[in-house]
């Protein structure tokens, strides 16, 4: 093998280990912070919390990665349409105790659950946390992502 190939293989191996570590961190944070409502594996709880394994979040991964970060940092309340045509009414409080790195890890874990390669970084979380977004903005964005 040439040196260039060896370097490429090493970089790919480090990236793979890094994404596995981030997924593990996200899974741990999800387990301790999100799972009580969204259930193991993000399947949701009827009448309590919507599923996080959803075409809506898969679309967010592809079209609007800020959306799940906004929900985690700002919260979301009211009646939400579900991907299966149903709806759920509830309240998710903003998770203000989570650091930007923790929010990024848990959102990346949710993207992983949806079998996407999308990712957000702590710097993205800081930018989104500082930006203004109302509950109505988030509901409107969710509706767009459901299409």
Q: For residue 22, what pLDDT is reported?
A: 52
Q: Has residue 143 got a pLDDT over 80? A: yes
Q: How many whole angstroms from its chain centre is CA 122?
A: 13
Q: List, in order of start, the domains of the chain with CATH numbers.
A: 3-145 (1.10.760.10)
24 contacts 106 by C-beta, under 8 angstroms: no
* The pLDDT value given to residue 21: 54
pLDDT tier for residue 27 given thresholds of 50, 70 and 90: very high
Residue 114: predicted pLDDT: 97
pLDDT in tens, 70-97: 999 999 999 999 999 999 999 999 999 9
| Per-residue pLDDT at 10 exceeds 70 | no
Average pLDDT rounded to a whole number, residues 36-61: 96
For residue 74 the two structure tokens come to 């700002």
């Amino acid at each position: 093998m040439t040196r260039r190939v060896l370097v490429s293989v090493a970089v790919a191996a480090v990236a793979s280990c890094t994404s596995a570590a981030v997924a593990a961190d996200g899974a741990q944070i999800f387990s301790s912070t999100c799972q009580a409502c969204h259930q193991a594996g993000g399947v949701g709880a009827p009448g309590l919390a919507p599923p996080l394994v959803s075409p809506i979040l898969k679309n967010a991964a592809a079209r609007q990665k800020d959306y799940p970060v906004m929900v985690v940092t700002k919260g979301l309340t009211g009646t939400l349409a579900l991907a299966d045509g149903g709806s759920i009414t509830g309240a998710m409080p903003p998770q203000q105790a989570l650091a930007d790195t923790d929010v990024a890890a848990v959102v990346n874990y949710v993207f992983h659950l949806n079998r996407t390669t999308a990712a957000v970084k702590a710097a993205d979380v800081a930018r989104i946390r500082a930006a203004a977004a109302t509950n109505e903005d988030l509901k409107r964005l969710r509706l767009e992502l459901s299409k």
